Amino acid sequence: MASEAPRTVKPKRERIKFEEAWPVIQGLLDRALRQALVEGREPTKFGGLSYADFMEVYDKVFNLTTSVYVSEVKPIYPALSKYFFEIADEMLAQVASGHVGNNDHAFLLSYLESYDHFLSAAMLLPHTFGMFERHWLKRYKDEWFYKPNDREEVPPPGMEWSNPSAPGGTGPSHGTTQVIGSMSGNAITTSRRERVLVPKPRAELEGEIMQWDSATAAGAPESQELAKLLWPPDGNPTTSRDGALGVIDGKEMAQCAARKYSSLPANVYMQLVPTLLRLWRLATVKHFGTDNDASMPSIVHKMQERGELREDVELVKRLAKCFWATGVLEQDMGFEELVAVLRSAC
Q: Please tell me the predicted confidence (pLDDT) of residue 16.
A: 83
Concatenate the DSSP letters of all residues of 109-172 into one string.
HHHHHHHHHHHHHHHHTHHHHHHHIIIIIHHHHHHHT----TTSPPPPTTEEEE-TTSTTS--B
Least confident of 72-81, 122-131, 175-184, 313-322: 175-184
Sign of the dihedral through C-alpha 12, 15, 20, 21: positive
Sign of the dihedral through C-alpha 289, 290, 294, 298: positive
Predicted TM-score (pTM) of the model is: 0.85
Neighbours of 66 (CB within 10 A): 16
Confidence of residue 179 (pLDDT cuts 50, 70, 90): very low
pLDDT in tens, 225-269: 889 999 988 888 875 555 444 445 789 999 999 988 888 999 999
pLDDT in tens, 321-333: 999 999 887 667 8
Average pLDDT for the chain: 82
CA–CA distance, 50 with 79 (Å, rounded to integer): 24
CA 226 remoteness from chain centre = 20
Helix axes 272-288, 313-326, angle to 10 degrees: 110
Q: Please tell me the predicted confidence (pLDDT) of residue 61.
A: 92
Is residue 191 scored above 50 in pLDDT?
A: no
Q: Please tell me the predicted confidence (pLDDT) of residue 165.
A: 66
* Residue 183 β-bridge partners: 188
In what helix (H) or strand (E) does residue 220 lie, and over which residues does it extend?
A: none
Q: Please tell me the predicted confidence (pLDDT) of residue 143.
A: 87
Strands 194-199 and 187-190 turn out to be antiparallel
Mean pLDDT score, 291-310: 88
Contact 140, 201 (CB under 8 A): yes
For residues 343 and 328, the model is more confident at: 343
CA–CA distance, 77 with 229 (Å, rounded to integer): 34
